[in-house]
Amino acid sequence: MKKIQMVDLKGQYEHIKEQVNQSVLDVIESTAFINGPEVHQFQKELEDYLGVKHVIPCANGTDALQIAMMGLGLKAGDEVITADFTFAATVEVIALLGLTPVLVDVDPVNFNIDIHAIKRAITPKTKAIVPVHLFGLSAPMDEIMEIAKAHNLYVIEDNAQGIGATYTSKDGSKKKTGAIGHVASTSFFPSKNLGCYGDGGAIFTNDDDLAHTLRGIVNHGMYVRYHHDVVGVNSRLDSIQATILRAKLPNLDAYNMARRNASRKYTKAFEEISNIITPTGCCKNGNSICDVCDCHVFHQYTLRVLNTDRDALVANLNANEIPCGVYYPIPLHAQKAYADERYDEADFTVTNQLVKEVISLPMHTELDDEQINFITKTVIDFVTK
Ligand SMILES: *Cc1c(COP(=O)(O)O)cnc(C)c1O
């Protein structure tokens, strides 16, 4: 059996090696390292793929979130609602900008921000909601957009884990995640579903004026060379990363399909195991992994294990040379940096439970049946012993 990896970047590279190597060499020969034609081409191709009017490339997914919030003109003291159960980048940029993070609980079935908790958290100071399409499954965007409309709030989608996912609205219309809110961010960190070979990120919007503002912010607040109209940052995607992303983007749907196929096999193997809850694979159809709306791109395949010592399971898998992850072991409201007297433990019952139960299994585009069978057998042996 091939050695099991949490993410197999080498195996994926082997399939596109010649193309990637040649295009990287071409960029080096061209010496257009920054803001070169490759960045511009990638931007256009990603706009077409997502069905969004504007893609603004930047240096990483955390910058993308920060720049999106700067572009919306959010001011110190404005409250921004986001999920308690996610990667810290989301709350970090809210705090860095002097905005007030308002963390709320998540839904135990889809792990995404709980719409009832959003409604309860809204105050006159609330200015924006940041749903995170956690683990690759779209947050309930119909409901979130309705709440935002009713309260005149911005929606900033954190699409770092969801790129390529499709969301089907109640009226049957389909959109890619990241093309639904007022603005969205993504990350091209190597292990993300569309990863480059270093750091990278992008902001998406359909709003022409906002896109213009964002293009200046990423470039030191310049709209005309050496005229700094607003306080900006330096945040760029470089041409080498862009050319690698151009080679990978045409494969993104196939990559996500490979992840869904592996997820389906995992879920099938765990079907009869009563103390394992498999991830919901579709934002509409409960537990099935749906190919109709393609709403889950399985950035992570995350189980909940009940009546089991989760940390002992992690140790057991590691002892069997099966890497795994705990995303995330500590709720954000309980992190030192983001703790706040405003928070009441009773408002975070789901996150507090999930952090004890979740475990993410190896998930990437190169998993084979032999590996999946070994992983599922090892997990089942442990949780049923
Ligand atoms: C990875 C990630 C980010 C940050 O992306 P970087 O490119 O690493 O800065 C932000 N939000 C979520 C949900 C992520 O998973």
Q: In this model, does residue 245 exceed pLDDT 80?
A: yes
Predicted confidence at residue 294, as pLDDT, reads 75
Q: In this model, does residue 172 exceed pLDDT 90?
A: no
How remote is the CA of residue 370 from the centroid of ligand 1, in Å? 31
* Local confidence band at 372 (pLDDT 50, 70, 90 cut-offs): very high
Q: In this model, does residue 363 exceed pLDDT 70?
A: yes
Closest-CA residue to 301 (of 289, 292, 313): 289
Predicted confidence at residue 285, as pLDDT, reads 60
List C-alpha distances in Å: 123 to 80, 119, 126, 149, 325: 10, 9, 5, 14, 36
Predicted confidence at residue 385, as pLDDT, reads 87
Predicted confidence at residue 237, as pLDDT, reads 98
Tell me if 87 CB under 6 Å of ligand 1. Answer: yes
Q: State the average pLDDT over residues 15-28.
A: 98
Q: Which atom of ligand 1 is least distant from the CA of 199?
A: 7
% of residues, the chain, pLDDT over 90: 94
Predicted confidence at residue 292, as pLDDT, reads 60
Residue identifier of the C-alpha nearest atom 2 of ligand 1: 160
Rounded to whole angstroms, the Cα distance separating 87 from 7 reads 18
DSSP 76-91: TT-EEEEESSS-THHH
DSSP 2-53: PPP-SS-HHHHHHHHHHHHHHHHHHHHHHT--BS-HHHHHHHHHHHHHHT-S
Predicted confidence at residue 231, as pLDDT, reads 93
Tell me if 66 CB under 6 Å of ligand 1. Answer: no
Q: State the average pLDDT over residues 201-207.
A: 98
Q: State the average pLDDT over residues 354-378.
A: 97
Q: Which residues contact 216 (CB under 8 A, 6 or more apart)?
A: 222, 223, 229, 230, 232
How remote is the CA of residue 160 from the centroid of ligand 1, in Å? 5
Predicted confidence at residue 286, as pLDDT, reads 61
Q: In this model, does residue 288 exceed pLDDT 90?
A: no
For the chain, how far is it from start to end, CA to CA, in angstroms? 25
Tell me if 92 CB under 6 Å of ligand 1. Answer: no
Q: State the average pLDDT over residues 114-119.
A: 98
Tell me if 325 CB under 6 Å of ligand 1. Answer: no
Residue identifier of the C-alpha nearest atom 6 of ligand 1: 61
**Cis geometry, peptide bond prior to residue 223 (ω within 30 degrees of 0):** no
Q: Which atom of ligand 1 is least distant from the CA of 299?
A: 15
Q: Which atom of ligand 1 is least distant from the CA of 89?
A: 10
Pocket test for ligand 1, best of 156, 187, 192, 193 (most atoms within 8 A of CB): 187
Q: State the average pLDDT over residues 5-31.
A: 97
Tell me if 62 CB under 6 Å of ligand 1. Answer: yes
How remote is the CA of residue 351 from the centroid of ligand 1, in Å? 19
Q: State the average pLDDT over residues 248-271.
A: 95
Predicted confidence at residue 295, as pLDDT, reads 82
Domains located in the chain, CATH noted: 9-105+112-249 (3.40.640.10), 251-383 (3.90.1150.10)
Q: Which atom of ligand 1 is least distant from the CA of 201?
A: 7
Q: Which atom of ligand 1 is least distant from the CA of 65?
A: 10
Q: In this model, does residue 282 exceed pLDDT 80?
A: no
How remote is the CA of residue 60 from the centroid of ligand 1, in Å? 8
Q: What is the mean pLDDT of the chain?
A: 95
Q: In this model, does residue 234 exceed pLDDT 80?
A: yes
Predicted confidence at residue 91, as pLDDT, reads 95
Q: In this model, does residue 83 exceed pLDDT 90?
A: yes
Q: In this model, does residue 315 exceed pLDDT 80?
A: yes
